[in-house]
Structures are given as structure tokens and as C-alpha cells.
Amino acid sequence: MYLNKLTKLAMTAALAFGASLATAEDPLKVGFVYVGPTGDAGWSFGHDEGRKYIVEKFGDKIETNYVESVAEGADSERVIRQLAAKGHELIFTTSFGYMNPTLKVAKRFKKVKFEHATGYKRSKNVGTYFARAYQGRYLTGLIAGKMTKSNVIGYVGSFPIPEVIRGINAFTKGAMEANPNITVKVVWASTWYDPAKEREAAETLMLQGADVLTQHTDSAAVIQAAESKGNYAIGYHSDMSAYGEKAHLTSTIHNWGPLYAAKVQAVMDGTWKSEDLWPGIAEGVTDLAPLNDAIPADVKALVAKKKQAIKDGSMRVFDGPIFDQSGKEVIGAGATMDDAALKNFNWYVKGVEGKLPKS
Amino acid sequence: MDFELFTNILFATLRTGTPLILIALGEMVCEKSGVLNLGQEGMVLMGAALGFIAAVVTGHAGLGIIAAILAGMMMSVLFAFLAVTLVSNQVATGLALTIFGTGLSGFLGAGYVGMAIDGIAPFPIPLLSDIPFIGKVLFSHDPLVYLSWVMFALIFWCFRSTRLGLTIRAVGENPEAANAIGIPVMKVRYGAILFGGAMAGLAGAYLSLVYTPMWSEGMSAGRGWIALALVVFASWKAERILLGAYLFGAASIMHLVLQGLGFEASPNLLAMLPYGATIIVLVIIASDAAKAKLSTPLALGQPYRPQV
Amino acid sequence: MLNITLEKRPSDSKLMSYLSPLFAILLTLLSGGLLFTALGQDPFHALYTFFVLPLTDVYGWTELGVKVAPLTLCAMGLMLCFKARIWNIGAEGQFILGGLGGGYIALELMDAEGFWVLPLVLFFGALSGLFWGALTALLKTRFGANEILTTIMLNYIALNWLLYGVHGPLKDPEGFNFPESAMFSDFATLPVLSDDYRLNISIFFALFAVAAIWALMSKTLLGFQISVLGEDKAAARFAGFKEERLTWFVLLACGALAGLAGVSEVTGSIGQLNPYISPGYGYAAIIVVFLGRMHPVGIVFASMLLALTYMGGEMAQMDLALPKSLTGLFQGMLLFYLLACDLLISYRIVRKPAARSIGSSSNSAQA
């Protein structure tokens, strides 16, 4: 009799448990692969901030995991695959070098959705995304053009790929609009992240007369270099003013949160599809760090005005006329460069000094 | 190239060469005593990491420097214990130190990536720094650059005219004979190795507290290996280390400067310059075979087994 | 001072030479456990995550193989060099050159079809690595330049050459100017052992190299000469062994093997040329040689152990949020402990004999 009661109890409990399993939503597992440490105040930091944004937004409905400092190369495939194998349904691989490994893993894990940052290859379950950082760079170029006294602006570049060239060109276009007498000098540090090299590149630029610097590298060394010499600098990825209170004018930053939230929502709604997403200022994914008070009010107003124009679509950064270094008009007035042309950018606009390295 | 540019390049060269000088001087002393320590990268990184951490935690960069020196010494003691007391293979032990130090520094420093501190500011020497040209190039640096010159002078003098220098050299040339005349070989070697560790740690502090005041994994970027090459390149002579370090520093800056001046060469090919230059110099040095043999500490790298 | 001292054994203890690596592993595990505890982790769970979890499925074992192949190939080459006491630190550069040279041919043969493509590509890869080793041999034998330093410099030069290639002439024309080459054709791709996994036939290259070098060292005169050269240069010279020729041989062989590892990596797991074809295999292989006590079988096991530390580090990151630098920590610790325990092969620990007895054998030479 005892046993009967016990059995009945057990069975009821089991039924209830089973029912609860069926009705409770398993949280959506979202995975992130970072190429650097989240503390780098740079590229990976930005992505992790995006992750934190969706954690806050979706609460219990999602579970996020990340792996940082995953070297690009053959080993990254294993990490991505492990994430997929551990039940993550949406995985963000946040560096170019993960492109082919992501595709390979996606072939095997057809139900998992992958989003690859900065890449160009997609498949049924692999989408790509990036931010229109160049819009932010254009705005910072306006500031640089107005703030320089020597009319020489220094650009610490990483590698001569279209993304970086596009940034240089957008920046230079803005600077020239603000001050037609400037010239932008580019030094290639041949690294994305190496504080000492970035610093040396910055110093090299300064010793050639640059009094405003900017960068397409990931550490704050350029800001520090500028601060030490009493010059200005514009950072990248995050507000780098802690590294140079006086020097740091602003930074172009990425705001991945809204993009990540949209993708998570799409997976939850079952509407996810592979696409090439390239949002910018209008979507809130690209922005500027707070402007330094040293920037005069009229410059701030100019930046605000242009930012609004980009936001509402009344202007585009690469609207014509655009001239190349020889002065030839490559894009006429009234025309504009389309996304395909922007993605293949491999020439310098007027105002940039020097030749583009071919290797 | 105008004069101001030239001045600035020299200034930058001195800064860039300083960590190399520190590491190389330390390793030179170590090698003079007959011990080859390949663990420079590990010691430099530990110095950089612990120095930075100490500076952040205490708020004083000066304490950071002390911490860095101690960190370098701690790492080198590990090496000394294995290579001198336990008579292990010095090449393997040094490599183990490099790998371990790199890993440990990354591990300890993980929580400090992305933090900013006020580094050590330059200290232009009053009066002297106002002299045109020389004042800018030589006397407007941060304290560690000046310290590197002081260390150079000390070491130069030590091996030129002191008993200590002679003792160290004796141990490096013929430890058995040195032991026979009563020199405590092990103690001397421990001392030399610790000194090397201290200098490497100091170089690390220079990187994370002065050059680019921040911590990032692997920030020594191969300087330990370059310094090792420098010691040979300099035939174990302090004055040549100074020269070599500045030459190397200049080469690594030149490839950036050349870009700025409009040279079209591939940045990646230009980056080979310093390493290629080092090989060429190694060849030139070594092919003066007789002289090279005279300068190499005879017992370098050979395990010394005290006869029990 | 401590009451113990070291006393030289009459002859090396064979038992200790087997036990020493085991002691080293145990000590490493112990230290690891302590470290994890200090980090607030359950030591057993953490050690399990690090050393056991990666191998709990077939995929894990195949991934182990993916890493073991290049490690073993490089390590076998290095073993030859180290046995001759030629401290070739340049396996990394030789690996990279192998990938670069072989990759270049693969790109040139992009439209070619036929089973001859892959062997040609592999051959050129090995040849490129051999060339890099030859440079070191030349610098050493002709100019007396120390190989430790020249090989390190050559490593950097090789890397920059690779970067130059992928940023410039070898860049994929359809690749939006990103620094990588086009993907190699199927004819220039190493066949995998199973469609589900990445493990490819390079594992057989590695095993073949193990067998071949084992035979070389233990059965041939050449192998004997190499050993003697390493153990006693004077004796080797006295016996008429040509030091220069042996130097060339070991460096060329190592270059070829490391080059083969490099080209296998780019035609296998990677499938193209890009800036990151080596996660440091050339350097890791140095550890493998010492851990494996410069013996072929030991090297295979040491490769497996080292490959495991890489995978364990990834697992620990994913599951326990521990930092990536753990891998280097463990590897360094392992080598340190091994070097320390190795001492026990030639020496044993004894109590210090009583100091004051007349005619006692203890004398002043305790340093």
C-alpha cells in the first residue's frame, strides 16, 4: 500500500517534470569567438560589449559564451566547431581570419547559424556583417582638419586592405572639406595590435610634422604617443581618453549591441537569413566617443550637422565629386560610390600623401 | 631629410635601443660567467607584467620598476637552480624559461589588459637639455635611458678594471681552474644569472611603464632574442652592445621612417631589415674567426659539474 | 645547507630515464592542481577539463592527430640536429618556408588536374624548408655564425616573407585585397582519412618519418656518426667523422621535414596561404624533442602530450573561463620539471656524509 502511494507520487512527479520540460523554453545559446582579449579596449572589447548588451536585453531567454584570444589559423576551426557541438545555435566569429574555418564548420552543422564579421563569403547558414566605421572616420576627419595647426595629419595604418583604405579616404575627405590645406601621411605598422610598433609609427609621423594622429590599429599607444608630445589624436574602437586626457579628441567606435540583438531576435522568431549586413551611424552601430572640450563649439556643431545628414540619408560620405591623388575627378558631382566600389577600394583620394603599398 | 627630422630620429633611436641595451648587458654578464640563458623573453615579459601590476596596484611607477627587477630575478633564479645546481642542459632550460615566463606573464597580467597608467615621464636634464642638437638627442630622455648609460658605464668599468670582472671572466673561461684557485664558481654564476634577470626585468619595466605604458601579452615582441644576438654581435664587449643596440633600434625605426618619406618598398620586406642586418653582422664578426674565438667565453653553455 | 647532496651514479640509471618523464608529468599535474585551486576552481574538474575532456570523443582524437602530425615531423628533424648538438631553433622558419614554397606551387598549378599535382606541391614544400635549413648550414660551416642566433633571425625573415607574399604577389585576386591566397584546388589538397574529420594523410608522413629516422639513428653508420658528434666532438674528429658534412645533413634533413610539415598544413587543415599558417609549431617541437628525451617513441608521446595541452587550454577557456596563457604555463612547467627530474638519471640524492671523520671521502668540492 505504501508502495502504491509512493509509486503514484513518483509517477505524478515524473509527469509533471516531463510536462515542465516540454513547456519551459531552453535559453538560446549564443557563442562568440574573439581574436583578442576582451580587456583590450579595442576590437574584441567592442564585441564583448555587444554581447553584454544582448545579455541585458534578453535576460533568461539566452545564454552566452565566449572564447577570447583565439588565434586565427587552423586551430580556430576547432574552437568554432566545439561551440557548435556544445549546442550554440548562433555563433559570431569576430575576425576576418575566421572566414574559411567558419564556412567549414557551417557545412557540418547545418542547423547552426553563423555570423562572420568583416568577411565576404557567405553560405546558407553563414552571414556576414560589419559596421560603416568609415562614416565615423569622415566625421573625425572634419575634426582633425580643423584642429591641426601644422596641416600635417598622421594616420597609423595596419594593413593596406580595402577596409583600412576606405577609412583613410573617408577621413581624408572630411579633413580636406574642413581644411583644404592639409595632407594626410600614412605609416603602415603591419600589425593590428602591437603597442610598441604602433607607438613607433605614431612617433615617426609626429617627427615628420603631424600634430593630429589617428589610427586603424587596436591599442591606445597612438593616443599615448600624442599625449606625450602635446599633440592630438583620434582613437578607434572605444573611448580612449583614459590614455591621454588632453590628446584624445574622440574615437570612432562600434556599437555592436543593436546588431547582435537584431540577429538574436531573428533566430528566435525563425526569420534569420544569411545576408551581408553593413549598418552604420543611421542604425546606431557606428558612433563617436564623446568629443573633447578642447574642440571649439563651431566644430562640434559642424560634426553634429554632418552626422545628422548621414543619419537621415541626405548625404553619403562618398558622394562625388571625389578626386584621386593626381587631381583627376574619379566620381563626379551628383554621383556616389556604391557598396561594391567601397568594398573594393584600392586607391587613395586627394589629400593622402604617398603611394599605396602593393604588398 | 632635414635637420630636425634627423634629430628626432636619433632621439627615437635612443629610446628604442634602451630595452635592448638593458637585456643585452645583463645577458653579457651572464654569458661572461659561462652560462647561456635563452630565457630572456620570459624574464622580460614577467618584468613587464609584474612591474605594470605593481604600478597599478600601488599607484607608483617607481615601485613598479622595483617589482619588475624582482620579477626578473625570480625567474632567473629558477633558471640558475636548474642550470647551475642541477646542471641541466642550458639550451632546454632557457627555452623552458621563455615559454613558462611568457605563459605566466599572460596569466598574471590577464586582468590588467586595457588599463591605463601615467607612465614615467621624461626628465630633461636641466641646462644640458638646452644645448642645441645634443641637448635634444641626449639629455631629454626618461630616467631609464640615463640608467642604461650608467649601467653600461658600470659594466664597462667592471670588466675593464675590477677584480670582480676578472673573477667572472675566469669562471667563464675555465671553471675548473677557477675552482682550483678558490673562486666559488656556483656563487659567481648565480650572481651573474641573477644580474641578467634583474636587467631583463628592468627592460620589461621600460616597455610597460615608459615606452607604451600598458600591458599586453607578448609585448616584448622578440626583443629578448634580438638582445641575445646583440651579445654575440658585440663580441661580449659592453661598448659594442651600446652601438649594436642603437643600430638595431635605428633599423627598426627606419623602416617606418622610410615609409613616411615616400619609399615604396613593401612594409613587410622592409621589416626584414633589422634581422637581415643582424645576420650580416654575425657573419662579419664570426668570419674574423680568430678574434671571435678570443672573445667567446670558452666555457659558454657547457654544464659545469663540480667534482664530488 | 640541506643535509642532502648529489652523488654521481656509477652509470646512468635506465630506470630513472623512464621514470623521470613520469615524475615530471606528475609534478606538473600537482602544480596545475594547486594553481587551479588558487584560482577558485575545483582542481580535479579543472585538470579533467584540461587533460581528459578533449579526448572524450572521436573528434578530439582526430584533432589530436591534426596537431601531432606537424609537431612530430618538426620534432624528428630537430632530434637529428639536437643529437648532433646543433641547436637549430629555426624549425619555425623552415616550416613557414615549406608552406610558402609549396603554397606558391599550388597556386601556380591552380588549374592543373591530375594526381601528380599534390606530390609535386609537397616536394616543393619540403625543398623550400630544406633551402632554409641550407642557409643555416652555410652560415655555420662557411662563416662560423652561431646557429642559435642565425636561425632565430631567419625565423623572422621567413615570417615577413610569408606576409609579403600574402599581402602582395600571392593574394587572391577575387579576395577583396585581404591578405590571403585563393583556396587551393582539390588536386592540391591532402586527402582526409574520413569525411567527418580533418585528420589527413600527413599523420602517415609523420609516422613514416619516425620509423625512418629511428632506423637511421639506430642502424646506420650515419646515425652513429651524428650521435658521436653530439656527445664528443673531439672523439668524432679523431675518428674521422666529417663534422661539416654531418652538420649539413642534419640541417637539410630538418629543413625538409619541417618544410614538409608546413606544406602539409597549408594543403591540409588550412587549404590556402594566409599570415597565420603556424601557431608556433617550430618552437613547440623543440619542447617535444626534450620531453621525448630525443628518442623517436618518446617524441611521439611528447607530441601527443603537447597537442593535448593546446586543446586543453582551449577547453579550459570555453568551459571554465580560464585564460589562454595556461597552455604556455603548463608546457613550461612540464619542461622545467623534466629537466629537474632528469638530473636523477646521472645523480642520486644521498645524505651528506658526516663531516668530521678522518679519512672520510667528503671533501671541499661541494659548491
* CA atoms of C140 and A244, how far apart (whole Å): 49
Asked which of B88-97, B256-265, C160-169 is least confident by mean pLDDT, the reply is: B256-265
* CA atoms of B20 and A357, how far apart (whole Å): 30
Domain CATH for A90? 3.40.50.2300
The answer as to whether C360 is a domain residue is: no
Query: DSSP string of chain B?
Result: --HHHHHHHHHHHHHHHHHHHHHHHHHHHHHHTT-----HHHHHHHHHHHHHHHHHHHS-HHHHHHHHHHHHHHHHHHHHIIIIIS---HHHHHHHHHHHHHHHHHHHHGGGTT-----PPP-PPTTGGGSTTHHHHHHSS-HHHHHHHHHHHHHHHHHHH-HHHHHHHHHHH-HHHHHHTT--HHHHHHHHHHHHHHHHHHHHHIIIIIIS-S--TTTTTTHHHHHHHHHHHTTT-HHHHHHHHHHHHHHHHHHHHHHHTT--S-HHHHTTHHHHHHHHHHHHHHHSHHHHHHHS-TTTT-------
What is the three-class DSSP state of C39?
Answer: coil
Chain C residue numbers with beta carbons less than 8 Å from the beta carbon of B99 are 283, 287, 328, 331-332, 335
* CA atoms of B50 and B204, how far apart (whole Å): 9
Please tell me whether residues A144 and A183 are part of one structural domain.
yes
pLDDT score at C358: 53
Interval C352-363 mean pLDDT: 52
In this predicted structure, the answer to whether residue B159 has a pLDDT above a threshold of 90 is yes
Please tell me whether residues A173 and A217 are part of one structural domain.
yes
Give contacts of B 164-223 with A, CB under 8 A. Answer: 207, 211-214, 216-217, 219, 221
Phi, psi (rounded to 5 degrees) for A276: -110, 100
Final residue of a structural domain among A85, A102, A129: A129
- The domain tally of chain C equals 1
Q: How long a stretch of residues is chain C?
A: 367
The nearest alpha carbon in chain B to C339 belongs to: B88
- The domain tally of chain A equals 2
- Write the residue in A67, A72, A73 that is nearest to C317 by C-beta: A67
pLDDT score at B116: 84
**What stretches of C144-182 show up as alpha helix (H) in DSSP?**
147-167
The answer as to whether C359 is a domain residue is: no
Residue C360 — very low, low, confident or very high, per pLDDT cuts 50/70/90? very low
In this predicted structure, the answer to whether residue C41 has a pLDDT above a threshold of 90 is no
Measure C177 CA to nearest chain A CA, in Å. Answer: 5
In this predicted structure, the answer to whether residue C220 has a pLDDT above a threshold of 70 is yes
- Residue A39 DSSP class: G
Interval C172-191 mean pLDDT: 91
SS (H, E, C) A82-125: HHHHCCCCEEEECCHHHHHHHHHHHHHCCCCEEEEECCCCCECC
pLDDT score at B92: 86
Residue C363 — very low, low, confident or very high, per pLDDT cuts 50/70/90? very low
Residue B294 — very low, low, confident or very high, per pLDDT cuts 50/70/90? low
- Give, to the nearest 10 degrees, the angle between helix C91-108 and helix C58-83: 120
- Write the residue in C167, C168, C178 that is nearest to A96 by C-beta: C178
Residue B274 — very low, low, confident or very high, per pLDDT cuts 50/70/90? confident
Query: DSSP string of B286-298?
Result: HHSHHHHHHHS-T
Reported as half-sphere exposure (CB side, CA atoms, 13 A), residue A261 has a value of 17
Residue B78 — very low, low, confident or very high, per pLDDT cuts 50/70/90? very high
The answer as to whether A125 is a domain residue is: yes
Contact between A161 and C314 using a beta-carbon 8 Å cutoff: no
Quote the mean pLDDT of chain B. Answer: 88
The answer as to whether C358 is a domain residue is: no
Residue C361 — very low, low, confident or very high, per pLDDT cuts 50/70/90? very low
- Write the residue in B4, B12, B261 that is nearest to A203 by C-beta: B12
The nearest alpha carbon in chain A to C270 belongs to: A74
Residue B221 — very low, low, confident or very high, per pLDDT cuts 50/70/90? confident
Q: A243: domain range?
A: 133-253+287-353
Please tell me whether residues A95 and A209 are part of one structural domain.
no
Phi, psi (rounded to 5 degrees) for A114: -120, 140
Chain A residue numbers with beta carbons less than 8 Å from the beta carbon of B20 are none
In this predicted structure, the answer to whether residue B105 has a pLDDT above a threshold of 50 is yes
Please tell me whether residues A168 and A231 are part of one structural domain.
yes
The answer as to whether C142 is a domain residue is: yes
Interval B62-82 mean pLDDT: 95
In this predicted structure, the answer to whether residue C354 has a pLDDT above a threshold of 70 is no
- Higher pLDDT pick, B262 / C345: C345
Question: Which pLDDT tens digit goes with each residue over B197-220?
Answer: 999 999 999 999 999 999 988 898
Contact between B107 and C325 using a beta-carbon 8 Å cutoff: yes
- Higher pLDDT pick, B114 / A132: A132
Q: Which of C88, C157, C274, C294 to mutate to test the interface with B (most CBs of B within 10 A)?
A: C157
Chains touching chain A at 3 or more Cβ pairs under 8 angstroms? B, C
Please tell me whether residues A157 and A240 are part of one structural domain.
yes
- CATH class of domain segment(s) B3-295: mainly alpha
Burial letters for C148-170: b for 16+ Cβ neighbours within 10 Å, e otherwise? bbbbbbbbbbbbbbbbbbbbbeb
Please tell me whether residues A163 and A300 are part of one structural domain.
yes
Assess whether the previous peptide bond of A321 is cis (omega < 30° from 0): yes
Q: Is C33 exposed, middle or buried (0-12, 13-18, 19+ CB in 10 A)?
A: middle
Final residue of a structural domain among A103, A129, A155: A129
User: Cβ–Cβ contacts within 10 Å for residue C131, how many?
Assistant: 17
Contact between B116 and A357 using a beta-carbon 8 Å cutoff: no
Chain C residue numbers with beta carbons less than 8 Å from the beta carbon of B38 are 148
Phi, psi (rounded to 5 degrees) for C73: -60, -50
Strands (E), chain C: 4-8, 347-351
What is the three-class DSSP state of A342?
Answer: helix
Quote the mean pLDDT of chain C. Answer: 89
Please tell me whether residues A192 and A328 are part of one structural domain.
yes
Measure B214 CA to nearest chain A CA, in Å. Answer: 8
What is the pTM (predicted TM-score) of this model? Answer: 0.87
Q: How long a stretch of residues is chain A?
A: 359
What is the three-class DSSP state of A150?
Answer: coil
A209, A229, A194, C89: which is closest to B252 by C-alpha?
Answer: A194
C-beta of residue A129 within 8 angstroms of C-beta of residue A266: no
Please tell me whether residues A78 and A183 are part of one structural domain.
no
C-beta of residue A70 within 8 angstroms of C-beta of residue A105: no
Cβ contacts from B onto C, under 8 A: 153
* CA atoms of A190 and A216, how far apart (whole Å): 11
The answer as to whether A258 is a domain residue is: no
Residue A200 gets the label, from left (phi > 0), alpha (psi -120 to 50) or beta, of alpha
Q: C264: domain range?
A: 2-352
B41, B15, B29, B6: which is closest to B248 by C-alpha?
Answer: B15
* CA atoms of B229 and B251, how far apart (whole Å): 15
Please tell me whether residues A236 and A97 are part of one structural domain.
no
Final residue of a structural domain among A104, A129, A154: A129
pLDDT score at B132: 82
Please tell me whether residues A201 and A341 are part of one structural domain.
yes
Q: What is the pLDDT along chain A (359 residues), one digit of tens a residue?
A: 444 565 555 555 555 554 444 444 689 999 999 998 887 778 999 999 999 999 999 999 999 999 988 989 899 999 999 999 999 999 999 999 999 999 999 999 999 999 999 999 999 999 999 999 999 999 999 999 999 999 999 999 998 888 999 999 999 999 999 999 999 999 988 888 888 989 999 998 998 899 999 999 998 999 999 998 999 999 999 899 999 999 999 999 999 999 999 999 999 999 999 999 999 999 999 999 999 999 999 999 999 999 999 999 999 999 989 999 999 999 999 899 999 899 888 899 999 998 888 77
Question: Which pLDDT tens digit goes with each residue over C273-283?
Answer: 999 999 889 98
Measure A75 CA to nearest chain C CA, in Å. Answer: 8
Residue C365 — very low, low, confident or very high, per pLDDT cuts 50/70/90? very low
The answer as to whether A279 is a domain residue is: no
pLDDT score at B245: 92
Residue C216 — very low, low, confident or very high, per pLDDT cuts 50/70/90? very high
Instruction: Extract the C-alpha cell encoding B306.
Output: 663540480
Domain CATH for C170? 1.10.3470
Interval C244-254 mean pLDDT: 95
pLDDT score at C14: 78
* CA atoms of B285 and B234, how far apart (whole Å): 8
Q: Is C174 exposed, middle or buried (0-12, 13-18, 19+ CB in 10 A)?
A: exposed
pLDDT score at C366: 42
Query: DSSP string of B121-145?
Result: PP-PPTTGGGSTTHHHHHHSS-HHH
